[in-house]
Amino acid sequence: MIVFPNCKINLGLHILRKRNDGYHDLETFFYPVTITDALEGISVTKTGSSTLHFSSSGIKIDENSQSNLCVKAYKLLQNDFPSLPSILLHLHKVIPLGAGLGGGSADAAFTLKLLNHLGNLQLSDEKLHTYALQLGSDCPFFILNKPCFATGRGEALTEYLIDLSLYKIIIVNPGIHVDTGKAFSCIQPAIPAQSIKEIIQLPLTAWKDHLTNDFEKVVFDMHTEIGAIKKKLYELGAIYASMSGSGSTVYGIFEKDLMFDHLFPPHYFVKEV
């Protein structure tokens, strides 16, 4: 069985408060994007306890079972379902790592869904959501995998009808690793004057002046090259441009028929969706 974990972009991101458990309450809008990894799972007959053999190709990732989210997803289900079959799992990685696109979270969530099918576990989406949250704050979104307004750590999801298919989105990642913990530490949480849930209902042309990502000022000060990407996207004619998550990916939303040569450095990851 082969599935294709996709990534997401954040349409706005506000850090509201720090919680007693060390996490932050936030609000954001998750929008799925069709840049995908490929994940293949094969159930194998094996006597004795069930095992996972994990391999990968494409962008190099850490296959260590202590940190790899696909492996963690298998072990998480195996704890509750000892009869889970042995699995050969191969991930071909395309989505840039640590890029604010949720690629690792997507791989973990799709692993849960793949194992649910291969193991005939008959888990509901609600139950998969519960497992996904144990793997990471962004993971539950990829169980739903539809445009939605997110609160809490990002796990409280409200599906919301928004369609950007009439536009083209340019995704630009410069390959810079942003220290998310450091970025969080530099942000002063605050309740915004206007919620993203309200702003997202404004015309797309109004987003530039109203829809913000709290991480941008901090990250742009740390890495001026990332801020320069946003400026360049607006120069190229973007209706709206923003950093996704805590970076370092920046995206621009353009009119569908607008043609241009972006001329970003050749080592950048640049995709049109």
Backbone angles phi, psi at 156, to 5 degrees: -85, 105
Find tokens 């306890």 and name the residue.
Answer: 49
pLDDT tens digits for range 51-72:
999 999 999 998 776 789 999 9
Pair 114, 32 in one domain: yes
Determine whether 93 is an active site residue: no
Checking if the pLDDT of 77 tops 80, the result is yes
Residue 184's CATH number: 3.30.70.890
Pair 57, 115 in one domain: yes
Q: Quick check: helix, strand or coil at residue 146?
A: coil
**Per-residue pLDDT, 259:** 87
Determine how many CB atoms are found less than 10 A away from the CB of residue 31.
21
Pair 111, 26 in one domain: yes
Pair 28, 116 in one domain: yes
Last residue of a domain, one of 126, 159, 192: 159
Number of domains into which the chain is organized = 2
Pair 231, 247 in one domain: yes
**Per-residue pLDDT, 143:** 98
Q: Which residue range(s) make up the domain with 255?
A: 167-272
Pair 155, 107 in one domain: yes
Cis peptide before 246 (omega within 30 of 0): no
- Give the active site residue among 8, 93, 113, 230: 8
Identify the H or E element spanning 34.
Answer: strand 24-36
Checking if the pLDDT of 235 tops 80, the result is yes
pLDDT tens digits for range 41-54:
999 976 667 899 99
Residue 104's CATH number: 3.30.230.10
* Contact call for residues 219 and 247 (beta carbons, < 8 A): yes
Pair 147, 208 in one domain: no
Pair 174, 146 in one domain: no
Last residue of a domain, one of 159, 180, 206: 159
pLDDT tens digits for range 130-153:
999 999 999 999 999 999 999 999
Determine whether 8 is an active site residue: yes
- Give the active site residue among 37, 107, 138, 214: 138
